[in-house]
Structure 1
Amino acid sequence: MKNTQHLKAYVQMHPDNKMAWYLLGKEYYKNGQQGKANYCFNQAGEVYEAFEHSKVPAEMLKQYEDGLLQSARERQAGRLRKRRILLAFLLLFLLLIPAAVAPELTQDSLAGLTSNSASALPEAPPGNAAEETAAPDEPAGLAFTAAGTDAVSGSQGLAGILQSAQTPSATAMLGMKRSGKWLIWTKGLPLAATIEKSREGRVTYQSYNPAACDCQPPDAEGIKQQAASWQEQQEELAVLWSAVRTYKNSKGALPKSLEQLVQPFPANWLGAVTPLMKEEFAPLRSAAAGLGLPAPQGTAAPAAGASGQGQTGTGIPAAVNGAGGGGQPFFTGPLTIIIDKQKHRLALTSGSIILRNYEVGLGGERTPEGNFVISDKVVNPNGRDNGEFGSRGMQLSDSNYAIHGTNDQDSIGKDESLGCIRMNRKDVEELFAMAPMGTKVQISKGVLPEELVIPDDRFPDDTSPNQTNPHKVYHWLN
C-alpha cells in the first residue's frame, strides 16, 4: 500500500507521465481495486497498450518504478520536514497567547449541521477533485446512472462519474442492492444520490440514503417517473447492444441495418424489436464502430471467475446516460445466461449485475456443466406452443440440450428432465425476447442467489411469426 501512496503522490505532481499512471494502475490491480486500476490504465493510454502487448523484462519495469518511488519518497520527506517546522512555530505561538473559551455547541446547532450537510465525498482518483456543499434543487434534464447501494453510501460512485469527460451537469444515481457478489437490477430502483457539476468543475454531492440524510428530493415523484423510464430504456438498449456484439463475433462485421438482426429463422438474432431499438440502432452502431467491438468487455460474472471493464465489482457505474441518447448504453457488458444447478435458477446478467433471475426445472446430473452459446432460437418448437417444449426454444451449441418451455409446470424447481432447462411460459418468452442468438450460457453450481428477479411489467415481446421452423423436428433431451 505504501508503494501505491507514493506512486499516487507522484502522478499528482506529474499527471502527464503515462508510465507513472501505468505503474500506479498495476499497483491498484494487485490490491484488487479494479475500478481505479482501469482508470489509471486509461490515463496511461499507449503506454498501457505497448507494455501489455510486449515482453518487457520485469527488471526494467522494477528499476523504473523504484526510481519513481524514490523520487516520491524524497518529496514526501521534504514536505514532512516543512510540516514539523510549521507545527513547532504554531505551538510556540499558542504558548504566547491567552486561552480563549469556545462558544457552547447546542443540540439544535448539531442537528442542523447533520441535516443540512451533504454526505462525505470519496477519495477521488488522482487528478480529480470534489467539493462538499449543501444539496441544490434538482435541475431539469437529469441524467441517470446506477451503482450498488454500498458503493453509493460510501460515495465511491462519485469517482466513476467524475472520470467521464462527458459527465452531464446533473446526474441521479440509483441504488442497487447487493446479494453476495451480485448487484440486483430491479424495477423501481430507489434514488441513492445526486451529483451536480458546474462549468467551473465544482461538484455537489447529495446522498438520499436514509441512514445518512433525513431528506427528500424536491421533485421525488418526477424523478421516480424519469428513473423508471430510464431503466426500461437501458434494458432495451442492453438487448440491442448485445445483439450487435454477438452478430459481430459471428459474422466478423457489424450489422449494417437493424433488419439484419431480425431476419426470418434461422437468422433471427433478435426475438423482438422495440421502437427505441429502431431509433437507437444507428447511434449504437456508430458507438460500436468507434470502440472497435468487441473491445468494451463487461466484468464477467464474479462467480464464473472472469473479469473485464464494464460494471465493476464495487458497483461503480461504467456509463452515464440520460433518457434516450446515443453513445454507449449503461450495460456495456454483453448479456450472459448463467444457470445454477444447485439452486435451480437461471439468471440473465451483464457484468456483475443480475437483470433477471428465474426458477427453472433441470435434470440433475443429466444437465451438463460448462460453457455454451445459443445457436438456435425457435418459436413454437415442432409447430406447437403447448407441447413438451412449450412456446419457445433456445438450443445450446448445436447440442441436444436446450432452454425451453414446458407443459409440465410442476417440474419447475425440480430435477425431472433428461438434461434440458425447463422454464415457465412467461419466463421463457421474456428470455427469448431479451437474449440474442449467440448469447453465452454458463452452467455450474452454487453461483446465483436464491432471490427471484422477475418484474411485474415484462420486457416487450412483439415476436414476429417468422421465427418458427417447420422443416425440423426437435429431439431435445427434455
Structure 2
Amino acid sequence: MKNSQHLKAYVQMHPDNKMAWYLLGKEYYKNGQHGKANYCFNQAGEVYEAFEHSKVPAEMLREYEEGLIRENRQRHESRLRLRRGLLALLLLLLLLIPSAVAPGVNLDESGAPVPEAAAGDPEEPVAAKPAEEETTPVPAVLAFTAAGEDAASAGQALAATLKNREAPSKTAVLAMKKSGRWLIWKKNLPLAAVIEQSAKGKVVYQSYDPAACACEPPEAGGLKKQAQIWQGKQEELAALWSAIRSYNSSKGKPPESLKELTRPFPGNVMGETTPLMKQEFAALRAASALQPLPASPQPSPAVTTEGTAAVGGSGNGEDTANRSKGQPPFFSSPLAIIVDKQNHRLAVTSGNIILRNYAVGLGGEKTPEGEFVISDKVVNPNGHDNGEFGSRGMQLSDTNYAIHGTNEPDSIGKDESLGCIRMKREDVEELFAMVPMGTKVQISKGVLPDELLLPEERYPSGTPLDQTNPNKVYHWLN
C-alpha cells in the first residue's frame, strides 16, 4: 500500500505522466482495488495499451517504478526538512517579537510611542493596589483557528492571531490536510500548536506535532474537547454568514432580522435556523455591513489560492465581540458548490477549504459546464419526497437543470441522468440546509479530490413545511 501512496502523490504532481498512471493502476489492481485501477488505466491511455500487449520484462517496470517512488520519497523528505526549517524560523521570529516593543509602552496608529500619563516605571501602576491584585494573573482569552498542516500556513495563522489582539491571549491552531489545491475540513482536526501572549507582550509557542518539534507535547485533552465544540459551531456560522452575504448581494443591504432569511417559499434564503444562529445573527449582520460586497465577475472558487486566516473564538463571547467590530467568522468566504464531472463529486467549499465532498450522479456531456447560482430551493418538488426529484431540489440559474434527490440511488456515481445532478437523500438534504439561495455553483472537470468527505454527525437538516411549492410543476432534466 505504501507504493500506492507514493505513486498517487507522484501522479498528483505529474498528472501528464502516463507511465506513472499505468504503474499506479497496476498497484491498485494488485491490491484488489479494481475500480481505481481501471480509472488509472484510462488515464494511462496508449501506455496501458502498449504495455499490456507487449512482453516488457517485469524487471524493467519494477526499476522504473522504484525510480518514481524514490523520487517522491526524496521530495517528501525535502518538504519535511523545509517544514522544520520554517518552524524553527517561526519560533525565532516569535521570540524576537516581544523585544521589538518594550513592555508597557503604548503605540498609536502610526506606530509612535504614546507618553505615559505619569513618570516612573511603566510596569508599575501609579496608584497602589492590594497585594493580592498585583499577584493575580490575568486569564488568557482562548480562541481557535485552523490552517494547513505545513509550517508556512501555520505561521500565517499565528501571525493573524497577533494582529489587533488584546493581550493576554491564547490561540490553538488546528491542522487541515492538503489535497492538491484544497485544504480538507474534517471533524476532530488534530491540534497543531498553541500560541500564548501575556499582558507584557511575551509570546510562548508550543507545538503539538512531535514530528515537527522533536518533542513530547503536553497533554491536550481539555483543549481537544474545546476544539471539537468550536468546530461544531463553525459550519452553522458559515451557513448563516453565507445567507446574510447572499441577501446583501441581492437586496443591496443586510437583512434586518433572521426572519427575512427564513420567509416561506420563494423567500426561503436559508432553511431552519438554530439557537446558535439566533445568538450570533446581530454580530454577523454587523460584520457583514462593514464587509465590501464582492466585485463582479467573481473569480472561480476552484482556483482560489488564498487560505483562510480568520480566527474564531471558543464561544465565550470574544468571537461575537470581534465580529461586531467587523471581523467575519472563520469561514470568511461564502459557501460555494463545485461539481466535478470527471470524478462524479460535488463539494461544498469556502475559499480553498472543502467542507463536504459527495458522490453524485450526472448526465455526462448532457450536464452543462460553467458557472450558475441557486435560484430556487424547494422541499418535496412536485409534492412528494419519493419521486424522480427526491425530497429536495435546487434549481440552477433559472434553467431546466437542478441539484436534486433521486428515486434511483444506484445511478449515483454514473452518467445516467438527462443533465441534472442527482444526490443521495441524506446528502441532498444536508446540502439544502447548508447552502443558501444565491450560492454560486461551478461545474467543470478534474478539480476535486476523489476522497469522500461525509461526517458521521450531519449538519442539522430539519426544514419548515413552508418551503414547498404546490403552485408549480417542475420539469427539470432529471
How high is the TM-score relative to the length of structure 1?
0.67
Counterpart residue number, 1:23 = none
Structure 1 residue 120 displacement after superposition: 2.4
Q: Structure 1 residues 318 and 224 mapped into 2: Cα distance closer, same or farther (>3 Å)?
A: same
| Aligned residue identity for 2:311 | A
Question: Is the Cα contact below 8 Å between 1:401 and 1:476 reproduced in 2?
Answer: yes
Counterpart residue number, 1:38 = none
Question: Is the Cα contact below 8 Å between 1:123 and 1:159 reproduced in 2?
Answer: no
Counterpart residue number, 2:313 = 321
Question: Is the Cα contact below 8 Å between 2:345 and 2:359 reproduced in 1?
Answer: yes
| Aligned residue identity for 2:216 | C
Q: Secondary structure at the match of 2:453?
A: coil
Q: Structure 1 residues 359 and 421 mapped into 2: Cα distance closer, same or farther (>3 Å)?
A: same
Q: Structure 1 residues 456 and 339 mapped into 2: Cα distance closer, same or farther (>3 Å)?
A: same
| Aligned residue identity for 1:458 | R
Structure 1 residue 336 displacement after superposition: 0.4
Structure 1 residue 322 displacement after superposition: 2.7
Counterpart residue number, 1:129 = 97
Q: Secondary structure at the match of 2:227?
A: helix
Aligned 1:439-454 pairs, distance under 5 A: 439-454=439-454
Structure 1 residue 287 displacement after superposition: 1.3
- Residues 370-390 of structure 1 show CA distances to partners (whole Å, capped at 9, x for unaligned) of 000000000000011111000
Aligned 1:369-408 pairs, distance under 5 A: 369-408=369-408
Distance across 2 between alignment mates of 1:253 and 1:369:
31
Runs of 4+ in 1 over 6 A off after TM superposition: 123-126
Counterpart residue number, 1:360 = 360
Structure 1 residue 248 displacement after superposition: 0.8
- Residues 236-262 of structure 1 show CA distances to partners (whole Å, capped at 9, x for unaligned) of 111000000000111111100000000
Structure 1 residue 294 displacement after superposition: 4.5
Aligned 1:243-322 pairs, distance under 5 A: 243-294=243-294, 301=301, 304-305=302-303, 307=304, 313=306, 315=307, 317-322=309-314
Question: Is the Cα contact below 8 Å between 1:143 and 1:168 reproduced in 2?
Answer: no
Question: Is the Cα contact below 8 Å between 2:169 and 2:197 reproduced in 1?
Answer: yes
Question: Is the Cα contact below 8 Å between 1:151 and 1:157 reproduced in 2?
Answer: no
| Aligned residue identity for 1:230 | W
Question: Is the Cα contact below 8 Å between 1:167 and 1:320 reproduced in 2?
Answer: no
- Residues 108-166 of structure 1 show CA distances to partners (whole Å, capped at 9, x for unaligned) of xxxxxxxxxx962428999x8268xxxxxxx7752100001113686443223223445
Counterpart residue number, 1:39 = none
* Unmatched 5+ stretches in structure 1: 1-117, 132-138
Question: Is the Cα contact below 8 Å between 2:143 and 2:172 reproduced in 1?
Answer: yes
Residue 473 in structure 1 maps to residue 473 in structure 2: yes
Aligned 1:178-257 pairs, distance under 5 A: 178-213=178-213, 214-218=215-219, 220-257=220-257
How high is the TM-score relative to the length of structure 2?
0.67
Aligned 1:1-80 pairs, distance under 5 A: none
Distance across 2 between alignment mates of 1:468 and 1:435:
17
Distance across 2 between alignment mates of 1:373 and 1:120:
45
Distance across 1 between alignment mates of 2:257 and 2:351:
26
Q: Structure 1 residues 151 and 119 mapped into 2: Cα distance closer, same or farther (>3 Å)?
A: closer
Question: Is the Cα contact below 8 Å between 2:142 and 2:313 reproduced in 1?
Answer: no
| Aligned residue identity for 1:122 | L
Q: Secondary structure at the match of 2:374?
A: strand
Q: Secondary structure at the match of 2:265?
A: coil
- Residues 305-346 of structure 1 show CA distances to partners (whole Å, capped at 9, x for unaligned) of 3x5xxxx63x46233433253212101101000000000000
Distance across 2 between alignment mates of 1:392 and 1:250:
23
Identity %: 65
Q: Structure 1 residues 300 and 151 mapped into 2: Cα distance closer, same or farther (>3 Å)?
A: farther
Question: Is the Cα contact below 8 Å between 2:368 and 2:443 reproduced in 1?
Answer: yes
Structure 1 residue 232 displacement after superposition: 1.2
Counterpart residue number, 2:351 = 351
Q: Which moved more, 1:236-245 or 1:144-153?
A: 144-153
Structure 1 residue 288 displacement after superposition: 1.2
Q: Secondary structure at the match of 1:271?
A: coil
| Aligned residue identity for 2:384 | R
Q: Structure 1 residues 300 and 187 mapped into 2: Cα distance closer, same or farther (>3 Å)?
A: farther
Counterpart residue number, 1:11 = none
Counterpart residue number, 2:421 = 421
Distance across 1 between alignment mates of 2:167 and 2:406:
47
